[in-house]
Amino acid sequence: MPLQKISEFDADYHNTIEGNDIKGMGVYVQGTDEKIGTVNDAVVDDQGEFRYLIVDIGFWIFGKKVLLPVGKSRIDSTANRVYVVGITREQAENLPEYQEHTTLDYDYEEQVRGGYRTPSVESSAALALTVGRTTPSPDNYTYADDADLYDVNAHEDQTFKLYQERLVANKQRRKSGEVAISKHVETETARVAVPVEKERVVIERVTSQDTGKVVSAEATDFGEGEVAHIDLYEEVADIHKEAFLREEVRVQKVVDKETVEAQETIRREELDVNTDGTRIENKTDRG
């Protein structure tokens, strides 16, 4: 029978339960205005049923917290109070102290129950043993064996909390991958052909029609020196590299949407009323 705090059983219990949150309620001795402590938390079993209230009894014993079985309490939601039924200061002093690291196992519960059990209950247990009943153990113990500690029907004006599970769908953003974008340089050999021109002098000697004819002395001008000056030009290939924009790459993120469906079995508590033929009246404030 694993036990856990109510917030561990249902993180959203504030919206699940009806009525005031029991945490923070003042704890008083039944029939008096003597405050002995404050409800610090509540403990439920694996079915969500209340088993204990964690009570800080600082008004009686400074700095001590104890477990109060729900059957020993009477909740007055109107006054925002919890009344303790049949417990003395001496009993509280002898109860095992509850701390945050305390393991709520069978042995610890037995220590708690031992501090609350009345002589009449112990006598009844001894009588049951004489007629063949086995001694309670972790394997066969049920909370019905200590009905006076856990049966809230023994007191009037109790508030029952009916629990129901529901599916809560949230979204969490997490990193699913990473894309690294960079540039690198590739090389290749490029070939280019450039036609160029180059000037040269061609000397052509031809036979004239007047070759061999005698000319006069006046027509001849024998002499030495440059006859003509000719500039020669040629083209030289000018090959160099230049960079240019080849293409532009745009990088952006897009969001793909999809719907994730989940199916779970959820539980809810319903109230069972055994009237044995007695007429009862059901009232509700829900519209």
pLDDT tens figures, 192-251? 898 999 989 898 888 888 777 887 777 666 666 666 788 889 989 888 889 989 899 898
Of 188, 185, 192, nearest in space to 240 by CA: 192
Per-residue tokens: 30 = 């039944």
| pLDDT score for 109 | 92
Residue with tokens 């519960």: 109
pTM greater than 0.85 (yes/no): no
Question: What's the CA gap between 115 and 64, in Å, rounded?
Answer: 15
The Cα angle at residue 23 between residues 88 and 153, in degrees rounded to 5: 60
Q: Compare 278 and 180 and report the one with higher pLDDT.
A: 180
Q: Which of 12-16, 67-71, 186-190, 234-238 has the lowest mean pLDDT?
A: 12-16
Report helix, strand or coil for 193: coil
| pLDDT score for 131 | 42
pLDDT tens figures, 90-122? 888 889 999 988 889 999 999 999 888 755 444
Q: Compare 188 and 275 and report the one with higher pLDDT.
A: 188
Cα dihedral: 133, 139, 143, 146 (round 10): 40
pLDDT tens figures, 11-39? 777 766 655 678 889 999 988 889 999 99
| pLDDT score for 159 | 53
Question: What's the CA gap between 280 and 134, in Å, rounded?
Answer: 39
